[in-house]
Structure 1
Amino acid sequence: MKEIGKTVFFGAVGIVLATSLTGFFFPKDLEYWANLAFQFSIQKFGWFYLMATFAFLVFSIYLLFSPYKNIKLGNDDEEPEYPFFPWLAMLFAAGMGIGLVFWGVAEPIYHYSHPPMGMAERLTPEAARLAFRYSFFHWGLHPWSVYTVIALAIAYSQFRKGESGLISVTLRPLLGDRVDGTPGKIIDMIAVIATAFGVATSLGLGSLQITAGLSRLFGWEQTLQSNTIVIIIATILFLISANTGLDRGIKFLSNTNMIIALLLFGFVFFVGPTSFIMEVFTTTLGSYFKEFLPMSFRMTPFTNQKWLGEWTLFYWAWWIAWAPFVGTFIARISRGRTIREFVTGVLFVPSVMSALWFSVMGGSALYSELFENSNIVRAVDLDVSTAVFVALEKLPFGSFLGGIAILLVIVFFVTSADSATFVMGMLSTKGSLNPGNSVKIIWGILQAMIAIALLMSGGLKALQTVLIIIALPFSFILVAIIFSIHRSLSEDAMSQKHPFPEKGKLSKEKID
Structure 2
Amino acid sequence: MKKTTIVFSISIVIAIAFTIWGMIPESLWPRYNLNAVSSAVHTFLIDKFSWFYLLSASLFLAFCLFLIFSRYGNIRLGRDEEKPEYSYMTWFAMLFSAGMGIGLVFWGVAEPVSHYYTPPTGEGATTEAARLAMRYSFFHWGLHPWAIYGVLALALAYFQFRKRDAGVVSRTLRPLFGTRIEGGLGVAIDTLAVYATVFGIATSLGLGAIQISGGLHQLFPRIPNSFSTQLLIIVVVTVLFMLSAQTGLNKGIKWLSNLNIALALLLMVFMLFAGPTNFIMDVFTSTIGTYLQNLPSMSFRLNPFEQNDWPKVWTIFYWAWWIAWAPFVGTFIARISRGRTIREFMIGVLAVPTIFSALWFSVFGGSALYLEQFQHAGIGKVMNEKGIETALFFTFEHFPLATLLSGIAILLICTFFVTSADSATFVLGMQTTNGSLNPPNSVKFVWGIVQSAIAAILLFVGGLESLQTASIIAAFPFAIIMILIVLALIRSFQQETARKAQKPIK
TM bucket (normalised to shorter chain) is over 0.9
**1:115-130 maps to which residues of 2 (within 5 A)?**
115-116=119-120, 119-130=121-132
TM-align CA RMSD: 1.3
Query: Using the alignment, how far apart are the partners of 1:421 and 1:387 within structure 2?
Result: 30
State which drifts further: 309-318 or 55-64. 309-318
Asked if 2 retains the 8 angstrom alpha-carbon contact of 1:2 and 1:436, the reply is no
Asked if 1 retains the 8 angstrom alpha-carbon contact of 2:167 and 2:430, the reply is yes
Aligned to 2:192: 190
Q: Deviations over 1:116-148 (max 9, x none)?
A: 2xx121110011011111101100000000011
Q: Is 2:391 aligned against 1:387? A: yes
Q: Which residue of the other structure, out of 301, 307, 310, is the alignment partner of 2:310?
A: 307
Structure 1 residue identity aligned to 2:476: L
Deviation (angstroms), 1:455 = 0.8
**What secondary structure, in the 3-state scheme, does the structure 2 residue paired with 1:115 have?**
coil
Q: What is the TM-score when the length of structure 2 is the normalising length?
A: 0.96
Aligned to 1:216: 218
**What secondary structure, in the 3-state scheme, does the structure 2 residue paired with 1:22 have?**
helix
Q: What is the TM-score when the length of structure 1 is the normalising length?
A: 0.95
Asked if 2 retains the 8 angstrom alpha-carbon contact of 1:492 and 1:498, the reply is no
Aligned to 1:269: 272
Query: Using the alignment, how far apart are the partners of 2:380 and 2:482 within structure 1?
Result: 38
Number of residue equivalences: 496
Deviation (angstroms), 1:370 = 2.2
Q: Which residue of the other structure, out of 103, 108, 112, is the alignment partner of 1:104?
A: 108
Query: Using the alignment, how far apart are the partners of 2:153 and 2:501 within structure 1?
Result: 23
Deviation (angstroms), 1:365 = 1.3
Q: Deviations over 1:307-351 (max 9, x none)?
A: 222211110011001100100100000011111110010011111
Q: Deviations over 1:32-82 (max 9, x none)?
A: 111100011111211100000000000000000111111111111111100
Deviation (angstroms), 1:301 = 2.6
Structure 1 residue identity aligned to 2:202: A
Q: Which residue of the other structure, out of 189, 211, 227, is the alignment partner of 2:230?
A: 227
**What secondary structure, in the 3-state scheme, does the structure 1 residue paired with 2:339 have?**
coil
**What secondary structure, in the 3-state scheme, does the structure 2 residue paired with 1:289 have?**
helix
Aligned to 1:78: 82
Q: Is 2:364 aligned against 1:361? A: yes
Deviation (angstroms), 1:104 = 0.6
Unpaired runs of 5+ residues, structure 2, are none
Query: Using the alignment, how far apart are the partners of 1:269 and 1:494 within structure 2?
Result: 51
Query: Using the alignment, how far apart are the partners of 1:34 and 1:43 within structure 2?
Result: 14
Unpaired runs of 5+ residues, structure 1, are 500-512
Asked if 1 retains the 8 angstrom alpha-carbon contact of 2:302 and 2:312, the reply is no
Q: Deviations over 1:150-170 (max 9, x none)?
A: 101110001111111111111
Asked if 2 retains the 8 angstrom alpha-carbon contact of 1:76 and 1:498, the reply is no
**What secondary structure, in the 3-state scheme, does the structure 1 residue paired with 2:71 have?**
coil
**1:53-452 maps to which residues of 2 (within 5 A)?**
53-116=57-120, 119-219=121-221, 220-382=223-385, 383-452=387-456
State which drifts further: 316-325 or 433-442. 433-442
**What secondary structure, in the 3-state scheme, does the structure 1 residue paired with 2:62 have?**
helix
Query: Using the alignment, how far apart are the partners of 1:208 and 1:497 within structure 2?
Result: 56
Deviation (angstroms), 1:300 = 2.9
Query: Using the alignment, how far apart are the partners of 2:151 and 2:16 within structure 1?
Result: 30
Asked if 2 retains the 8 angstrom alpha-carbon contact of 1:174 and 1:484, the reply is yes
Q: Deviations over 1:180-232 (max 9, x none)?
A: 11111111000000000000000000000000000000111011111100011
Query: Using the alignment, how far apart are the partners of 1:304 and 1:245 within structure 2?
Result: 50
Aligned to 2:481: 477
Identical columns (%): 55
**What secondary structure, in the 3-state scheme, does the structure 2 residue paired with 1:97 have?**
helix
Aligned to 2:16: 17
Query: Using the alignment, how far apart are the partners of 2:332 and 2:501 within structure 1?
Result: 27
Deviation (angstroms), 1:450 = 0.9
Query: Using the alignment, how far apart are the partners of 1:256 and 1:16 within structure 2?
Result: 32
Query: Using the alignment, how far apart are the partners of 2:288 and 2:378 within structure 1?
Result: 27
Query: Using the alignment, how far apart are the partners of 2:502 and 2:420 within structure 1?
Result: 34
Aligned to 1:494: 498
Query: Using the alignment, how far apart are the partners of 1:21 and 1:390 within structure 2?
Result: 37
Structure 1 residue identity aligned to 2:124: R
Asked if 2 retains the 8 angstrom alpha-carbon contact of 1:314 and 1:464, the reply is yes
**What secondary structure, in the 3-state scheme, does the structure 2 residue paired with 1:123 have?**
coil
